[in-house]
Amino acid sequence: MADSSVMKEKDNREVLVGKTTAEITQLLVSGGHPAYRGQQVAGWVYRKGAASFQDMTDIPASLRTELGEKYLLGLPELRHKDVSSDGTIKYLFAMPDGLTVESVFLPYQQRVSVCLSTQVGCPAGCTFCATAQGGFARNLTAGEIVGQLLFMQRESERRISHAVYMGMGEPLFNFENVVTSLRLIGSEVGISLRNLTVSTVGVVPGIEALADADVPVTLALSLHAPEDTLRQQLIPTGRKWNINEIMKACRYYTHKTRRNLTFEYLLIGGINDGVDQAAKLATLLNTWRLPGNVNLIPFNYVDTPGGYKRPTPEAIRLFREELEKSGRIVTQRMTRGTAISAACGQLRRNVAAVQQFDLRLEAVGSPSSL
Ligand code: SAH
């Protein structure tokens, strides 16, 4: 208790999580150590789950002590953890300055996914989103993004195979750090870039820059409305980048990366869940000839000024059928009860949706869900 209220003295030690093997090696070499020591340390940081320098058992004790004096591993601190009966774990992590973000560990039968935050809070201001209501504090560093994954990996016997940038924040508002973190997860942790998904509210310059960055991850677009007037009511950044500009950037992304997109469509009862809106959405995507599934995400209740509510099962069905008529593959994820909290249920469902697998099928027969 007392700890959190006491201001910590600023720690000037350099943080290792967030640096590449080459950079860590450089530090070790400049300290007079052989290069292979750098590789060993990086291996412990990214692949062998060291919680401290003392865990690095193939490093001589004197060097471990020296490293601890000069450097910090830089993993986040656990503040809170909720474990659901289906195996989902929601983490609340504190960064070195005490600010907190959420991450989620999502075990399924065929894969183990994590949902990562990219910012503390979010400046996008979407009217249906819980994170937006808390405002924005700062960007996370690349090390703070990867650190969430490393912490969760350390706690799990199963290997994390997928990561979705769908926690707190807008990834493309924190472009440099997000791209650095994707590269680190790809090359240092060893998860294929194909298994990483970046979800965006539609930041046009960010989508274009990501296409050019040579990190061919899956891009998920939070579309949520088929026309600008409605979209702008839901997503304030829609006033800066309209749907046509976003579609153009998405087309560039698919051409450049050869990856399909995922279109996320949040369904809010009586607001954007009409059959006419489904028809407009189908026309929009087909006109732009954009490949990719549409994932329907029923609104997860958040007490918003707009008083939004969940769509009825009937409305969801009609919306889906209308979209399917256009030849589009539509995935729809229904909520499974989660003992954790509404926000986590929301993340869990959304992660399943963008990764295009069926939460219910994955859950059937999974021992953790029984
Ligand atoms: N800023 C990024 C990623 C974080 S939000 C983005 O906008 O895509 C991750 C996803 O959760 C987005 O699709 C977002 O629209 C959705 N989301 C936010 N609030 C929600 C709610 N109350 N119910 C269901 N999904 C929600």
pLDDT for 344 beyond 60: no
Q: Is the pLDDT of residue 142 over 70?
A: yes
340 has pLDDT over 80: no
Q: What is the dihedral of CA 117, 118, 119, 121, to 10 degrees?
A: -30
Is position 3 within any domain?
A: no
Q: Which residues contact 245 (CB under 8 A, 6 or more apart)?
A: 204
Q: What is the mean pLDDT of residues 246-255?
A: 97
Quick count: other Cβ atoms within 10 Å of Cβ 54?
Answer: 13
Instruction: Give percent of the chain above pLDDT 70.
Output: 87
Judge if 89 and 38 occupy the same domain: no
Nearest to 150 by CA among 79, 52, 61, 216: 52
Reported confidence tier of residue 360, pLDDT bands at 50, 70, 90: very low
Q: Confidence class of residue 136 from pLDDT cuts 50, 70 and 90?
A: very high
Query: How large is the angle between the packed helices 175-183 and 142-155, nearest 10 degrees?
Result: 40
Query: Which of 8, 43, 72 is the last residue in one of the domains?
Result: 72
Q: How far apart are CA 50 and CA 137, in angstroms?
A: 29
Q: Residue 240: pLDDT above 70?
A: yes
Marked catalytic residue, from 69, 102, 129, 322: 102
**pLDDT tens readout for residues 31-86:** 999 999 999 999 999 999 999 999 999 999 999 999 999 999 999 999 999 998 88
**Whole-number pLDDT of residue 223:** 98
Residue 23: is its pLDDT beyond 50?
yes
Span 89-97, average pLDDT: 93
- Higher-confidence residue: 340 or 296? 296
Q: Does residue 116 lie in a domain region? A: yes
Task: Say what the pLDDT of residue 364 is.
Answer: 36
Q: Tokens 């960010």 label which residue?
A: 206
Tell whether 52 and 154 lie within a shared domain: no
365 belongs to a structural domain: no
- Total domains in the chain come to 2
**What per-residue confidence (pLDDT) applies to 85?**
87
Q: Does residue 6 belong to any structural domain of this protein? A: no
151 with 94: CB under 8 angstroms? no
DSSP 260: P
Determine the structural domain holding residue 98 and report its residue range. 77-353
Q: Is the pLDDT of residue 16 over 60?
A: yes
From 122, 144, 344, 362, the catalytic residue = 344
User: What CATH code is carried by the domain that includes residue 51?
Assistant: 1.10.150.530
Q: How far apart are CA 263 and CA 330, in angstroms?
A: 10
Residue 358 covered by a domain: no
Q: Are residues 53 and 84 in the same domain?
A: no
129 is catalytic: no
216 forms beta bridges with none
Distance (Å) from CA 224 to ligand 1 centroid = 10
Residues 104 and 185 in one domain: yes
- Considering the domain architecture, whether residues 294 and 163 belong to the same structural domain is answered as yes
Instruction: Give the C-alpha separation, 91 to 82, whole Å.
Output: 7
Mean pLDDT for 147-171 is: 96
The rounded distance, in Å, linking the Cα atoms of 307 and 303 is 7
User: Taking Cα atoms as reference points, which of 323, 331, 325 lies closest to residue 297?
Assistant: 331
Query: Of all protein residues, whose CA lies closest to atom 19 belonging to ligand 1?
Result: 129
Three-state secondary structure call for residue 282:
helix
Instruction: Indicate if 102 belongs to the active site.
Output: yes
Where is average pLDDT lowest: 101-110, 190-199, 271-280? 101-110
Same domain as 119, residue 26 = no
The upper half-sphere exposure of residue 351, i.e. CA atoms within 13 Å in the direction of its Cβ, equals 29
228 by Cβ neighbours in 10 Å (0-12 / 13-18 / 19+) ranks as: middle
Rounded Cα gap, residues 152 and 147, in angstroms: 9
Identify the CA nearest to 295 among candidates 194, 220, 218, 216. Answer: 220
* Burial of residue 245 (number of CB atoms within 10 Å: 0-12, 13-18, 19+): middle
Strand positions, DSSP E, 223-304: 261-267, 292-298
Do 62 and 89 lie in a common domain? no
Are the C-beta atoms of 206 and 221 separated by less than 8 Å?
no
Residues 156 and 62 in one domain: no
- What per-residue confidence (pLDDT) applies to 91? 94
Helix (H), strand (E) at residue 351 = helix 342-354
Q: Say if 136 falls within a structural domain.
A: yes
Do residues 38 and 134 share a domain? no
Give the pLDDT mean for 310-337: 85
CATH (domain of 334): 3.20.20.70
Residue 48 and residue 176 in one domain: no
Average pLDDT rounded to a whole number, residues 137-142: 97
- Provide the CA 220 distance to its chain's centre, in angstroms: 10
What does the pLDDT average to over 204-233? 97
Q: Residue 308: inside a domain, yes or no?
A: yes
When mean pLDDT is compared across 4-18, 148-162, 183-197, 311-325, the lowest value belongs to 4-18
At 350 the pLDDT is 58
Look at residue 333 and tell me whether its pLDDT is greater than 80: no
Average pLDDT, the chain: 89
Indicate whether 187 and 55 sit together in one domain: no
Please give the number of the atom of ligand 1 that sits closest to the Cα of 168: 4
Give residue ranges with CB within 6 A of ligand 1. Answer: 124, 126, 128-129, 166, 170, 199-201, 222, 264, 266, 297, 299-300, 302, 346, 350
Same domain (yes/no): 148, 258: yes
Max Cα-Cα span within the chain: 70
291 and 260 Cβ atoms separated by less than 8 Å:
yes
Distance (angstroms) between ligand 1 centre and the Cα of 91 equals 18
Pocket test for ligand 1, best of 102, 116, 166 (most atoms within 8 A of CB): 166
